[in-house]
């Protein structure tokens, strides 16, 4: 039996008076800089609620996200990557049961799009049924990826689940807890209107939560949906805004608490670091929030500067030295790592002469990491040679002629684009989208063409040098 609702007066913690949060978004999109850290917040006004009260705020599960293109990576743990979103959801439900929490909030994009069949929906429903058997309620909205107009197949959800309607915002009252939850789902994928002004006013004396899928005033890498401002959210008078849509965890404001929890499981190399949910405790008039990592696969990007390195034998040790600290405290996860090699190094010539040498040695070094399981998703080579271009350009041989040609093309983007289109246009334009992806150079992007030009120059120079007596 929970204790009856009681009234707690407000008390201060001495945080910022304007209520704005210090910068607590995580570089690289992680769940939190220090997983498990509790962040006490300023007190609420006087309200009646069960004390203490616990709930979980999660969003952007993207269940069964297809993760296209994995098959082209030899040795990729395809099955583990494709089932990671399911595993993260199972861990979310495990957490809710272990606490136990009073309710679970899901702020949209449960699915990545319409289901291919009913298996995705049945798996999600099975997890909600676990909460139903424990008497834990679930409140959810639909976002741009799982809007009511996007999901064509329907399943009746367990009785503990409330899905907010898309026609108008409404309020779910939990009088036994002293809580009012306000929300509205997306009707269609593209939602251009600010939904907040039409949300109901706060219920006096209750702990008011707003459930909203939004880009706020815009976030890098995310389409603009249901745009609104922090001031608009604050003016609504709620105690907590449970947001979704942005995949990088971001504490937008402390009072009232406005937070994107980030997605539950990173899906590619641009969604790096710990991923999880917000575990929220309301006690004695205060909110304490803990970011709980739940992902089974952690993505990371590692830039390794090879400046001055001339021996291939040094590469593996340098890679392991840079990587191992990032694995601390997460030895039970699969770490998917994208490596970028930078700097001015004599290894440039070796790679140019035998492309793939550096990548193979990085993968070999990963096999020797004992702290955790590591999969190298990709190795990008962005090296420069220890080359005196001015002296090379004065040579009266094939190497000098090549350098002069490259310099001329570098100074004439139009000529470079014409050459690339003539030589590569037919091939690149014929690639299917699932093969092309973001990794194939774009002929309309000058930076991509310059990278291709530099790589081609290095390869030819290396082979010319090797052919000399």
What CATH number does the domain located at 6-293 have?
3.60.21.10
Q: What is the pLDDT of residue 151?
A: 58
Residue 44 burial class via C-beta count within 10 angstroms: exposed 0-12, middle 13-18, buried 19 and up: buried
For residue range 239-284, list pLDDT tens digits in order: 999 999 998 999 999 999 999 999 999 988 899 999 999 999 998 7
Q: What is the pLDDT of residue 20?
A: 45
Angle between the N-to-C axes of helices 313-323 and 357-367, in degrees from 0 to 180, rounded to the nearest 10: 50
Q: Within 10 A of 386 (CB to CB), how many other CB atoms are there?
A: 12
Q: What is the pLDDT of residue 42?
A: 46
> CA-CA distances (angstroms) from residue 138 to 52, 127, 221, 375, 434?
18, 11, 29, 35, 36
> CA-CA distances (angstroms) from residue 155 to 115, 187, 297?
11, 17, 29
Answer whether residue 17 shows pLDDT above 60.
no
Rounded to 5°, angle at Cα 351 from 349 and 355: 140
Confidence of residue 189 (pLDDT cuts 50, 70, 90): low
Q: What is the pLDDT of residue 155?
A: 86
The residues spanned by each domain of the chain are 6-293, 296-386, 389-469
Q: What is the pLDDT of residue 263?
A: 95
Q: What is the pLDDT of residue 204?
A: 95
For residue range 286-326, list pLDDT tens digits in order: 899 999 999 999 999 999 999 999 999 999 999 999 999 99
**Measured distance CA(183)–CA(200) in Å, rounded:** 9
> CA-CA distances (angstroms) from residue 380 to 77, 337, 351, 358?
20, 11, 12, 9
Q: What is the pLDDT of residue 14?
A: 29
242 vs 331, more confident: 242
Q: Which tokens go with 402?
A: 């090549």
> CA-CA distances (angstroms) from residue 446 to 10, 50, 420, 442, 458?
58, 60, 10, 8, 18
Which residue, 303, 321, 323, 319, is CA-closest to 373? 323
For residue range 197-212, list pLDDT tens digits in order: 999 999 999 999 999 9
List Cβ neighbours of 108 (8 Å cut-off, separation of 6 or more).
59, 60, 140, 141, 142, 143, 144, 145, 146, 185, 186, 213, 244, 245
Which residue, 97, 415, 430, 112, is CA-closest to 264? 112
226 vs 140, more confident: 140
* Residues 147, 188 contacting (CB under 8 angstroms): yes
* Residues 291, 264 contacting (CB under 8 angstroms): no
Q: Which tokens go with 216?
A: 């706020």
Q: Indicate the SS3 state at residue 367.
A: helix
**Measured distance CA(283)–CA(55) in Å, rounded:** 12
Answer whether residue 2 shows pLDDT above 60.
no
Q: What is the pLDDT of residue 78?
A: 87
Match 């040795």 to its residue by tokens. 75
* Residues 185, 225 contacting (CB under 8 angstroms): no
For residue range 375-399, list pLDDT tens digits in order: 999 999 988 888 777 888 888 888 8
Match 């805004």 to its residue by tokens. 241
Confidence of residue 40 (pLDDT cuts 50, 70, 90): very low
For residue range 72-129, list pLDDT tens digits in order: 677 789 889 989 999 999 999 999 999 999 999 999 888 876 777 888 889 999 999 9
132 vs 457, more confident: 132
Q: What is the pLDDT of residue 431?
A: 67
Q: Which tokens go with 435?
A: 């093969």
Q: Percent of the chain at pLDDT above 90?
A: 51
Q: Which tokens go with 89?
A: 């959801």
69 vs 149, more confident: 69
- The pTM assigned to this predicted structure is 0.80
């Amino acid at each position: 039996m929970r204790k009856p609702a009681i009234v707690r007066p407000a008390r201060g913690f001495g945080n910022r008076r304007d209520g704005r949060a210090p910068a607590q978004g995580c570089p690289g999109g992680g769940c939190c800089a220090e997983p498990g850290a509790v962040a006490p917040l300023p007190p609420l006004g006087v309200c009646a609620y069960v004390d203490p009260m616990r709930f979980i705020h999660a969003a952007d599960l993207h269940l069964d996200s297809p993760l296209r293109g994995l098959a082209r990576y030899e040795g990729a743990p395809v099955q583990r990557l494709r089932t990671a979103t399911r595993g993260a959801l199972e861990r979310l439900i495990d957490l809710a049961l272990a606490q136990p929490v009073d309710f679970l909030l899901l702020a949209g994009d449960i699915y990545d799009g319409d289901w291919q069949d009913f298996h995705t929906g049945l798996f999600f429903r099975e997890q909600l049924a676990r909460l139903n058997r424990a008497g834990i309620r679930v409140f959810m909205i639909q976002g741009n990826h799982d809007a009511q107009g996007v999901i064509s197949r329907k399943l009746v959800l367990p009785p503990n689940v409330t899905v907010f309607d898309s026609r108008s915002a409404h309020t779910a009252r939990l009088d036994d807890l002293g809580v009012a939850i306000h929300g509205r789902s997306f009707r269609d994928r593209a939602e251009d209107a600010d939904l907040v002004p039409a949300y109901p006013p706060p219920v006096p004396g209750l702990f008011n939560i707003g459930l909203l899928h939004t880009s706020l005033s815009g976030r890098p890498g995310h389409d603009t949906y249901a745009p609104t401002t922090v001031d608009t959210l604050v003016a609504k008078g709620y105690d907590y805004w449970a947001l979704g849509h942005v995949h990088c965890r971001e504490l937008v404001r402390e009072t009232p608490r406005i937070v994107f929890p980030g997605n539950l499981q990173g899906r590619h190399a641009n969604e790096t670091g710990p991923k999880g949910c917000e575990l929220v405790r309301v006690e004695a008039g205060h909110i304490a929030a803990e970011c709980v990592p739940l992902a089974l696969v952690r993505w990371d990007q590692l830039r390794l500067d090879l400046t001055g390195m001339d021996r291939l034998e040094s590469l593996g040790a340098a890679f392991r030295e840079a990587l191992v600290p990032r694995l601390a405290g997460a030895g039970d996860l699969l770490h998917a790592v994208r490596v970028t090699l930078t700097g001015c190094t004599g290894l440039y010539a070796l790679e140019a002469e035998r492309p793939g040498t550096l990548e193979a040695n990085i993968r070999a070094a990963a096999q020797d990491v004992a702290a955790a399981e590591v999969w190298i998703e990709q190795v990008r080579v962005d090296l420069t040679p220890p080359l005196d271009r001015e002296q090379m350009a004065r040579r009266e041989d094939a190497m000098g002629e090549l350098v002069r040609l490259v310099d001329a093309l570098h100074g004439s983007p139009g000529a470079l684009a014409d050459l690339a289109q003539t030589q590569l246009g037919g091939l690149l334009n014929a690639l299917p989208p699932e093969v092309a992806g973001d990794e194939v150079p774009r002929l309309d992007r000058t930076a991509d063409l310059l990278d291709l030009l530099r790589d081609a120059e290095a390869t030819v120079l290396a082979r010319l040098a090797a052919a000399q007596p």
